[in-house]
Amino acid sequence: MARIYLDNAATSWPKPAAVYDAVDAYQRENGAPSGRSGYSEAVDANLVVEQARRGVAELIGERNPRQVIFTYGGTDSLNLAIRGVVRPGDHVVTTVCEHNSVLRPLRALADEAGVDVTYVPCDEAGFVSPQAVRDALRPNTRLVAVVHASNVTGAIQPIEDIGPLVRRHGALLLVDAAQSLGHVPIVVAESEIDLLAAPGHKGLLGPLGVGVLWIRPGIEERVQPLRYGGTGTQSEDEVQPEDVPERFEAGNRNVPGLAGLAAATAFLKKRSIAAVAAHHERLTARLLEAFRSIDGLSIHGPQTAERRTSVVSVTLDGYDPQELAALLEASHGVQCRAGLHCAPRMHAALGTTAGGGTLRLSAGAFTTDDEIDAAAAALREAAAVALR
């Protein structure tokens, strides 16, 4: 039975062949640390890191690659942005659509430092109103944290409308781009974003263990480091360097992961994010069209392929989502994710919590029409069994 992988919202697979080759070549032929020595392999390791930094910067329209900070994952990037910016007694605006990588740091700050958090609601399709975000702002609002695309509904939030409202207020806008960077075009300057966080292993098509945080030029001092230590620079000083990216990149970098990320960004640049986005939209439209003809199947989130990513969540009458996911893999080799997807407030807003969440299917850059059709056929068969 062929493996039909539709869990790209968790991590992309397969990766471009160049990613596997780059990781293997670094491990076998180089193996040196970055920023620690001056021999030839160490210099080459530095070049690998900077190639990855330039690659990410080019994808988001940033002219200065040094504004791209490397972390150890999307969660690490979000924690740096949130805990690095928010101070005791501050107010933060976020949404019910957020992942626990935002909700849990904010809850911890509320418990530890008296931070007040407002959760902006969404409509039945999963979209947040910019007006509602503006209405939630207070004089002491320091940060607005908004997920760009939901990992449950796929709904793409109107960041381009939210950004100017936050900028005029004087707060900082943090965008969680875990489900959008690499999937849809993002130009940070056009949306007045201040901080953009994402993992390297999802839409960016790199390996696990690498994350990115873009910091808008000029606000570096408003973000405190969370990790202090060796950077390979200013080693005579016990104080953390002030320059970016060194200010935020203490410790050895994950050079094997960054070698893979460099190759992945080169692949995306050649293929173009616009082409990837068109691929996702076409596959999503195909999947939604097929799902609409299945009796007992409910689609949660946007009902069309516009203003959404390829994340599609459904429930099917007669099935628990976990049971349905197990059935699809066992009978058809379709691999997807069931449950609450680390987004409890999103499921509460959708009314899917009591039923165990949803079944989530997420196409990737290498998903084919045949795989989409096979997944739809598998769900149609499951629905027919439930109706007997």
Supply the DSSP symbol for 368.
Answer: -
Q: Return left, alpha or beta for 152; rule: phi > 0 is left, psi -120 to 50 is alpha, else beta.
A: alpha
User: b vs e for 311-323, b when ≥16 Cβ sit within 10 Å of the residue's Cβ?
Assistant: bbbbbbeebebee
Q: Strands (DSSP E) along the chain, which ranges?
A: 4-5, 68-71, 91-95, 116-120, 141-147, 172-176, 195-199, 211-215, 297-300, 311-316, 334-335, 337-339, 358-362
At residue 15, what are phi and psi to the nearest 5 degrees? -90, 165
Token output for 237:
């000083």
Q: How far from 381 is each of 190, 297, 377, CA to CA, in Å?
A: 45, 12, 6
CB 269 within 8 A of CB 55: yes
Report residue 160: phi and psi, to 5°: -65, -20
β-partners of residue 71 are 211
- Name the active-site residue from 97, 122, 336, 342: 342
Beta bridge partners of 361: 312
261: tokens are 């990320």
Q: Is 342 a catalytic residue?
A: yes
Interatomic CA distance for residues 349 and 103, integer angstroms:
15
Q: What is d(CA 308, CA 383) in angstroms, rounded to the nearest whole number?
A: 25
Q: What is the DSSP letter of 29?
A: I
- Helices and strands (DSSP H and E) totals, the chain: 12, 13
- For the record, the structure tokens of 220 come out as 């570096």
Which phi and psi angles does 367 have, rounded to 5°? -70, 140
Chain centroid offset of residue 320 CA: 27
Q: How many CB atoms lie within 10 A of CB 296?
A: 15
Indicate if the alpha-carbon torsion angle 10, 13, 17, 20 is positive or negative: positive
Active centre residues (catalytic): 342
